[in-house]
Structure 1
Amino acid sequence: MESCIFCNIISKKEDAFIIFENAYVCCFLDKYPINKGHILVVPKIHFQEFSEVDKDSLSHIILASQKVATSLERILNTDGITIMQNNGIFKDVEHYHMHIIPRFLDDGFSWVEPENVVTKEELISISNSLSEILID
């Protein structure tokens, strides 16, 4: 595996503004923030994709995200919080991570939703397929 910037931050080989960590996660300020206070919540075990992350790490990621988001709301007096993560070709670092982004009215960050049309038949098909898979 090539050198991973997040693994290097976790192991203290790279500098970062770490704001919280435990045995499962490391939380630090994003060097390229969408807004001030933008934090990354990173599992200490290297996983590339969301689907690979073990249950213990996942539970600690979401609990740490909640703790960080609540703290950011309080200290930055935010208008809201965006919590998101990307997978596949849409992520910029090959180590799974969650973004906690403080939001402010008119901050310029947006979610653009394309106008896709999904037929009732497609919804039924997707719903049935997922229900069959999720039974396990």
Structure 2
Amino acid sequence: MDNCIFCKIISKTEDAYIIHENEYVCCFLDKYPINNGHILVVPKKHYREFKDVDQESLSKVILASQQVATALEKLLNTDGITIMQNNGMFKDVEHYHMHIIPRFKNDGFSWIEPDIKVSKEDFISLSVNLERALNKSD
């Protein structure tokens, strides 16, 4: 994609601190990190959404994420790692990517979990409907 910042980084027409790449993925430091060492793992093929990523690219993204997380834990002596990605209106770049975020006690990063009550009937209904939807896709 011509105007995609991640495609420009992958093609080396935009600067970034690339820490690892192979045929399938490019891993680089996030320009606006949540914590020092925040890495983005990006498939080299352009996909807008998680659901669109081909299986081979997706498996390479998760394997690279595991390698990056392991290296960060050792290098930065983290208290943990947060691995996440956003879809739809919640992502800030229109190119699927995974965030690998080093975590430290009292680092100030969190998400707020709303206090939502779900009835037993709603759990049953949702689980039945999801099971049907997933069995259709096999």
Matched, 1:48 2:48: yes
Instruction: Flag structure 2 segments of 5+ consecutive residues without an equivalent.
Output: none
* Partner residue, 1:125: 125
Cα distance in structure 1, aligned partners of 2:99 and 2:20: 14
* Partner residue, 2:87: 87
1:15-43: per-residue Cα shift (whole Å, max 9, x none)?
A: 00000011110000001000000000000
Q: CA deviation at 1:2?
A: 5.6
Matched, 1:104 2:104: yes
Instruction: Flag structure 1 segments of 5+ consecutive residues without an equivalent.
Output: none
Q: CA deviation at 1:53?
A: 0.3
Cα distance in structure 1, aligned partners of 2:2 and 2:134: 34
Aligned partner of residue 28 in structure 2, secondary structure = strand
TM-score normalised by structure 2 residue count: 0.97
| Corresponding pairs, count | 136
Q: CA deviation at 1:61?
A: 0.4
Cα distance in structure 2, aligned partners of 1:2 and 1:11: 11
Matched, 1:65 2:60: no
After TM superposition, which residue ranges in structure 1, 4 or more long, deviate above 2 angstroms?
none
Cα distance in structure 2, aligned partners of 1:126 and 1:57: 30
> Which amino acid in 1 is paired with 2:101?
I
Cα distance in structure 2, aligned partners of 1:15 and 1:2: 15
> Which amino acid in 2 is paired with 1:14?
E
CA RMSD for the aligned pairs?
0.8
> Which amino acid in 1 is paired with 2:126?
I
Cα distance in structure 2, aligned partners of 1:129 and 1:47: 28
* Partner residue, 2:4: 4
Matched, 1:78 2:86: no
1:110-131: per-residue Cα shift (whole Å, max 9, x none)?
A: 1210000111111111100110
Cα distance in structure 2, aligned partners of 1:70 and 1:91: 25
> Which amino acid in 1 is paired with 2:114?
P
> Which amino acid in 1 is paired with 2:33?
P
> Which amino acid in 1 is paired with 2:134?
L
